[in-house]
Structure 1
Amino acid sequence: MLIAGVDEVGRGPLVGDVVTAAVILDPNKPIAGLNDSKKLSEKKRNALALEIKEKALAWCIGRATPAEIDEINILQATMVAMQRCVSGLAVKPDKVLVDGNRTPDFGIDAEAIVKGDGLIEAISAASIIAKVERDNDMMALDELYPQFGFGKHKGYPTKAHFEAIEKHGIIEQYRKSFKPIKNLLEQKS
């Protein structure tokens, strides 16, 4: 049975896409050290992401943009991004295991597993490549807008991030429906 693991990264940040990944691991090509991406160093995540992409039977990234998040809300946008990464797999899985407590309709058997990113290798693998992808997005945004510090806080609502927003305003990539951004926009209008 082919199992696709699915996880998301970036529901909490104020900026950028929510990123999901689906991975079908090859049972004949084991990968040592898979775990919840949050429990791994950046260096370890980056190395594992390359190995996962090399050894997996199939993998795919799915995204939902800030505009989509603003239109349908972060939860629904995450579900859409998950559907995109599963439908984009080159190999069709028999079952999908999703980290968390809910799963969208993939048109095939699916199960949500709370803390699955630390329990199921395929979900750990998805967690890792989604995290690396989202971090790379933030590094690219950091190059375009170094004054915001995206490379450090990765778009999360930190004190330094709020100070940068206060000083430099809001760029197009912000999620305008998120309360801190929405409140700032209302204050300015």
Structure 2
Amino acid sequence: MAELPDLSFEGAAMTRGFTLVAGVDEAGRGPLCGPVVAAAVVLDPARLPAGLNDSKKLSEKRRETLYAAIRAQAEVGVGLASVAEIDEMNILRASHLAMVRAIEALPRVPGHCLIDGNLLPRGLVLSAEAVVKGDARSMSIAAASIVAKVTRDRIMVDLAQQHPGYGWAKNAGYPTKDHLAALRNLGVTPHHRRSFKPVHNILYQAEIISA
């Protein structure tokens, strides 16, 4: 059986004197449209939601259940970076911007942050460490991955109602076969990331045709 994330990173930070430790993760780096969403979560060791794991390893129903539990039993901050910001600064920088905003949205300022990935966001002035594959290793980061994923999926369901035909409610904006076909047939929406190659190519082809 695969190992579940634990509180090893959080415990190590606490032994160094940090009483408030936040896990931080994002969702939405790969899709062709919509914002990138980050979450920061400070867990209460005495009230841990059961079954925390990397959001990618959970069913949609399980994620929704855990999302509600995390919201009820932990301190949560959420931050977004817009499509315009993604196109302006690139997806990595925008993801890090969303992470900083999520940390700033926490009810209390954490002493230390556990950041999923191998890089720390620019502009983060708090004590922090990068944790590679953190959503599978740290319970706080796993909780943040769930909050970020559920939040972003809900945004895409809402956008799907405004722009039917692209299947965003099911594909969450990822470049699935159906999404790419709709992009070619229906065109580019204001929510598509123009700096992403499939979207850029379609816009470029449209310019050639209209020229």
Smaller-chain TM-score range? Answer: over 0.9
Match of residue 120 from structure 2: 103
Q: 1:9 corresponds to which residue?
A: 27
Instruction: Tell me by how many angstroms 1:106 deviates.
Output: 1.9
Which stretches in structure 1 are left out of the alignment for 5+ residues?
none
Alignment partner for residue 78 of structure 2, among 45, 48, 61? 61
- 8 Å CA contact 1:21, 1:62 repeated in 2: yes
Q: Show the counterpart of 1:71.
A: 88
Q: Note the alpha carbon deviations across 1:123-166, whole angstroms, 9 max, x for none.
A: 00000000000110111111112211111111001111110111
Which SS does the other structure have where 2:80 is aligned? strand
2:190 pairs, out of 172, 179, 187, with: 172
Aligned to 1:94: 111
Q: How many Å apart are 1:188 and its aligned residue? A: 0.9
In the aligned structure 2, how far is the partner of 1:32 from the partner of 1:118?
A: 15
Root mean square deviation, CA, Å = 0.8
Alpha-carbon deviation of 1:119? 0.9
In structure 1, the residue matched to 2:133 is: 115
Shift of 1:27: 1.6
State the alpha-carbon separation in 1 of the partners of residues 172 and 119 from structure 2: 25
Measured in 2, the distance between the counterparts of 1:30 and 1:85 equals 20
Runs of 4+ more than 3 Å apart:
none
Q: Radius of gyration: which is bigger?
A: 2
Q: 1:77 & 1:141 partners in 2: Cα distance? A: 20
1:162 paired with 2:180, answer yes
Cα deviation, residue 48, structure 1? 0.4
Structure 1 position 42, deviation (Å): 0.3
Paired AA for residue 71 in structure 1: E
Shift of 1:88: 1.3
CA contact (8 A) 1:6 1:82 kept: yes
Q: Distance in 1 between matches of 2:193 and 2:174?
A: 12
Q: TM-score, normalised by structure 1?
A: 0.97
The match for 2:146 is 128
Question: How far apart in 2 are the matches of 1:163 and 1:26?
Answer: 45
What runs of 5+ residues in structure 2 fail to find an aligned partner?
Answer: 1-18
Q: State how many pairs are aligned.
A: 188
Quick one: which of 69, 72, 82 aligns to 2:99?
82
Q: What is the SS of the residue equivalent to 2:173?
A: coil
